[in-house]
């Protein structure tokens, strides 16, 4: 049974392990152990404990900034019927073009961050979002350039 990530007490070594993985999630375990100053088996047990507790929920692929040059990025605000939120979120999570999905306050309920190869593909994805059962309205804007990008 997984513990809640919010209830897990992380110590300094856990935080250091997480920071190492944020920089390079493919870092070999021997390098992680060396950076943490512990045995490989200890580092591996700590990593497994963080995964089991739900603190670490997955690993991802990072793309170089040269790949991002030919990508269209957009933000789509979505208004929906609140009773359909779980179904809407589930449907949107299936779209690989949606890289992040936030719950927001105000006129709209969700903010979807999208990446597509073209404006035509972006238009098609927005059309597919609009027909999801429970979606009432959308408002979209294309992101032109990144002025500041700090890691979370």
| Portion of the chain with pLDDT greater than 70, in percent | 88
Work out how many domains the chain is built from and give that number: 2
Same domain, 30 and 86: no
User: HSE (CB half, 13 Å, CA atoms) of 87?
Assistant: 10
CATH code, 38: 1.10.10.10
The answer to whether position 37 is within a domain reads yes
Tokens 């059962």 locate to 133
The answer to whether position 75 is within a domain reads yes
Q: Mean pLDDT lowest for which of 18-27, 80-89, 130-139?
A: 18-27
CA-based torsion, 96, 98, 101, 107: positive or negative: negative
- The domain in which residue 77 lies consists of 67-143
**Residues 86-106: pLDDT tens digits?**
999 999 999 999 999 999 999
Residue 2 banded pLDDT, cuts 50, 70, 90:
very low
The answer to whether position 148 is within a domain reads no
Q: How far apart are CA 72 and CA 80, in angstroms?
A: 25
Q: How far apart are CA 71 and CA 114, in angstroms?
A: 10
Residue 24 banded pLDDT, cuts 50, 70, 90:
confident
Same domain, 32 and 85: no
Q: Indicate yes or no: pTM above 0.75.
A: no
- pLDDT over threshold 80, residue 114: yes
Q: What is the pLDDT of residue 47?
A: 94
Q: Hey, is 130 helix, strand or coil? A: helix
Same domain, 14 and 45: yes
Please say whether the beta carbons of 111 and 74 come within 8 A: no
Q: Hey, is 14 helix, strand or coil? A: helix
Beta-bridge partner residues of 102: 111
- pLDDT over threshold 50, residue 54: yes
């Amino acid at each position: 049974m997984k513990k809640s990530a919010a209830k897990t007490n992380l110590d300094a070594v856990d935080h250091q392990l997480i920071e190492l993985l944020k920089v390079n999630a493919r870092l070999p375990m021997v390098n992680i152990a060396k950076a943490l100053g512990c045995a490989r088996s200890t580092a591996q047990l700590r990593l497994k404990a963080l995964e089991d507790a739900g603190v670490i929920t997955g690993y991802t692929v990072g793309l170089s900034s040269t790949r991002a040059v030919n990508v269209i990025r957009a933000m789509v605000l979505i208004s929906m019927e609140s009773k359909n939120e779980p179904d809407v979120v589930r449907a949107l999570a299936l779209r690989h073009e949606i890289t992040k999905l936030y719950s927001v306050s105000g006129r709209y309920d969700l903010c979807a961050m999208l990446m597509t190869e073209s404006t035509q593909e972006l238009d098609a994805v927005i059309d597919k979002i609009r027909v999801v059962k429970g979606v009432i309205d959308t408002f979209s804007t294309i992101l032109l350039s990144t002025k500041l990008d700090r890691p979370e």
